[in-house]
Amino acid sequence: IYTSGSTGLPKGVMVEHRNLVNLLYWNIETFDITEKSRSALYSSFSFDASVWELFPYLIKGGTIHLLNETLRTDLVGLNNYIEDQEINIAFLPTVICEEF
């Protein structure tokens, strides 16, 4: 997978399967993911965060909503979509705004 880590420059990193499995099952337990979970995949498939946003729901049989670029950059539209689709868990980036 690719990550920028602390450098800000994309680079490929190797993740061992057992580490991935540990992460996924920790995520499932911590966030109580079940077959009724409805999640949003915000990050790109090539970004390391996509593992966190995708596989726990596949393992447990939950629903994953793939967000297109337009929706990901429209805060009001994204909020409406999350409410309309009854998405109950999503990992979204934090944005610091100077003005509201």
Q: Which DSSP symbol is given to 67? A: P
**What is residue 34's predicted lDDT score, i.e. its pLDDT?**
96
| Spans of the chain below 70 pLDDT | 1-5, 15, 95-100
**What is residue 12's predicted lDDT score, i.e. its pLDDT?**
74
All structural domains of the chain: 2-90 (3.40.50.980)
d(C-alpha 39, C-alpha 45), whole Å: 15
**What is residue 93's predicted lDDT score, i.e. its pLDDT?**
76
Q: Which residues contact 44 (CB under 8 A, 6 or more apart)?
A: 50
Phi/psi at 3 (nearest 5 deg)? -145, 155
pTM above 0.85, yes or no: no
**What is residue 82's predicted lDDT score, i.e. its pLDDT?**
95
**What is residue 98's predicted lDDT score, i.e. its pLDDT?**
59
Q: CA angle, corner 70, sides to 50 and 33, nearest 5?
A: 35
